[in-house]
Amino acid sequence: MVRLTGKQALVEMLRAEGVGVVFGNPGTTEMPLMDALQDAPDIRYILSLQEASTIGMADGYARATGKPAFCNVHITVGLANATSALYNAFKGGTPLVVTAGQLDTHLQIQDPLIGSNMADNTRFTKWSAEVPHVRELPMAVRRAFKIAKTPPTGPVFLSLPWNVLDEEEDVDIVPSSPGYHRIRPDATAVEKAARLMAKAQNPLLLVGDRVAQSGAVSEAVALAELLGARVHAGSFTEVNFPTSHPQYLGAVSWVWPGQRMATSFENVDVLVAVGTDLFPAFFYTSGPPIGRNTKIIHLDSKEWDIEKKYPVEIGMVGDPKAGLQDMVAALEDAMNGENREAARARASAIGEQKARSRQAFQQRVKANWNNPKISPERMMTELAQVMPKDAIMAAEASTTGGALMGAMDFDRPGDYYSARGGALGWGIPGAIGVKLANPHRPVVAVVADGSSMYTVQGLWTASRYNIPVTYVICNNASYRILKQGMAMYLTDTGRESQYLGMNFQELPLNLAKMAEAFNMEGIRVEKGDDLRRAYEKALSSNRPTLVDVVIDNTLPVRDIQDDYRPFAPKR
């Protein structure tokens, strides 16, 4: 044991856990920690100017390193600012250890100015607690890191009272154990799943981000190829399947249901879901996207998501990588020659479908190339042509996401990250965290103009620490995702919307000038012929740079409503 103050013990525990970066936005209750970090030059402190940015940076860093990130925000009011980003981390399963300073415990019964029981009010975490004594601080930190990194991973929260950080005790500094999480699913369930898959006539593999988190991409590919299944992503905020693979047909979303969803899942006889929630809903529809005769096999490390909404034929709790390995081995044994030939024929047909889809995208690129306003297809195609091969993409641009994925392929784990959870503002700070985790690789962040304004102060952090992210802003002068939603809402009503509160045209956002205000170079592009030069300048600068691309904001209402019509609610 060693005698330390609470703040010294916390720093020593961070060292023991291998924490090299602390993301923070301090307030008065964080003074003890800030004082201790002054004597810890081996731990880098990255300052953000608002707490949502703090969590966003830590989120990107944790996802890119695969290890829990540590961040510190201010008491109650600061934690409230952080809640939207914390929700993203909770829904996405990002391993974070979030801390906030608390008032001296002697004050808490007095109803102090900004005090409250933060641990009891931190809903979007796997575990929350307040550390009551110095001697328990190492144990609490150790438990926090252990819980954060245990699948299903996620954020935890510790409240750190001022007096606990200042008081002195004899403590043991012992880190959390590495953790061994390759839990295999039940062998009987695997065998039953293999027999069911072997007989499938129209199987579909639905993958989610816990495939990427468990390092199971190659195993998912092996299962898809053996089964001859179409592959869709229920979520794709990390590379959970190579996008160039001929059997991968893109992400599907039940949040914005449409014709693509309907056709993707009709007549599926066996749906194999791995590491994903099944069809998280936003708009109510009268029924699920799958037929009553579809048999579901669901493998996941998150037990809660198995049979949460829909009945499953076989549910398996286990690590996706280990489980997929077992499923592939069992399927090899279960398939006969006829099954294998049918699988090869299915795979060939899916590849042809994929080729037609890619050809259709290229036709749209050509058709829109010389439009008076820059099309999203040209914006992303030109970016793809100049991006370094080892670049990492960090994306938060919902309505231009289709063009992004059409123009680029992301085949290797760690090449792509995007926002998850639904709270806007991940893109700017998240890219900073990704870059800090990958200092020797270029990072390009494609961010929507509306989303950027939730955490625009993150540009200050990139500039202050010279974190060379290339930001590319999709500036359509609107909340276009809301306009699409309004178009869906008004399907078959005969009513046209004025899109109240969804347009910025009267006072367009100029992100290039905002970047300049943070001492960062900002380049505004309004003509297609200027795109390549702007991209090349930004990518070669070795400084944080922002390219503000003004793109076409035309809304194809009829096409949107035609696609949505199969699920349009009756009014």
The answer to whether 538 and 470 are in contact (CB under 8 A) is yes
* Token pair recorded at residue 142: 């150790």
Beta-strand (E) ranges in 76-175? Answer: 96-102, 127-130, 156-161, 168-171
Q: Is the pLDDT of residue 183 over 70?
A: yes
Q: Is the pLDDT of residue 555 over 70?
A: yes
Q: Is the pLDDT of residue 142 over 90?
A: yes
Confidence of residue 114 (pLDDT cuts 50, 70, 90): low
Backbone angles phi, psi at 243, to 5 degrees: -70, -20
Q: Is the pLDDT of residue 430 over 90?
A: yes
Report pLDDT for 538.
98
Report pLDDT for 395.
97
How far is residue 52's CA from residue 68's CA, in Å, rounded to a whole number?
A: 17
Give how far Cα 556 sits from Cα of 238, 375, 399, 480, Å. Answer: 29, 13, 12, 11
Q: Is the pLDDT of residue 136 over 70?
A: yes
Give how far Cα 560 sits from Cα of 26, 149, 256, 289, 555, Å. Answer: 45, 41, 10, 18, 8
Confidence of residue 264 (pLDDT cuts 50, 70, 90): confident
Q: Is the pLDDT of residue 1 over 80?
A: yes
pLDDT tens by residue, 385-416:
999 999 999 999 988 999 999 999 999 999 99
Buried-state track 188-206, b at ≥16 Cβ within 10 A, e below 16? ebbbbbbebbbebeebbbb
Q: What is the mean pLDDT of residues 145-169?
A: 96
How far is residue 253's CA from residue 369's CA, in Å, rounded to a whole number?
A: 28
Mean per-residue pLDDT of the chain: 94
Q: What is the DSSP string of 45-111?
A: EEE-SSHHHHHHHHHHHHHHHTS-EEEEE-TTHHHHHHHHHHHHHHHHT--EEEEEEE--GGGGGG-
How far is residue 482's CA from residue 468's CA, in Å, rounded to a whole number?
A: 32
How far is residue 25's CA from residue 132's CA, in Å, rounded to a whole number?
A: 23
Confidence of residue 570 (pLDDT cuts 50, 70, 90): low
Q: Is the pLDDT of residue 289 over 80?
A: no
* Token pair recorded at residue 315: 């549910």
Q: What is the mean pLDDT of residues 447-459?
A: 96
Residue ranges of domains in the chain, CATH in brackets: 2-171 (3.40.50.970), 187-354 (3.40.50.1220), 369-567 (3.40.50.970)
Report pLDDT for 279.
86
Confidence of residue 305 (pLDDT cuts 50, 70, 90): very high
CB atoms within 10 A of CB 70: 27
* Token pair recorded at residue 305: 């998501």
Q: Is the pLDDT of residue 478 over 70?
A: yes
| Residue 302: closest CA among 106, 38, 91, 537 | 91
Report pLDDT for 505.
87
pLDDT tens by residue, 93-111:
999 999 999 887 787 777 6
Backbone angles phi, psi at 563, to 5 degrees: -70, -35
How far is residue 335's CA from residue 512's CA, in Å, rounded to a whole number?
A: 58
Give how far Cα 259 sits from Cα of 252, 266, 438, 560, Å. Answer: 11, 11, 39, 10
Q: Global pTM?
A: 0.95
* Of 9 and 399, the one with more pLDDT: 9
Report pLDDT for 232.
96
Q: What is the mean pLDDT of residues 236-260?
A: 88
Confidence of residue 112 (pLDDT cuts 50, 70, 90): low
Q: What is the mean pLDDT of residues 260-266?
A: 77
Q: By mean pLDDT, which of 114-118, 188-192, 319-323, 459-463 is the weakest?
A: 114-118
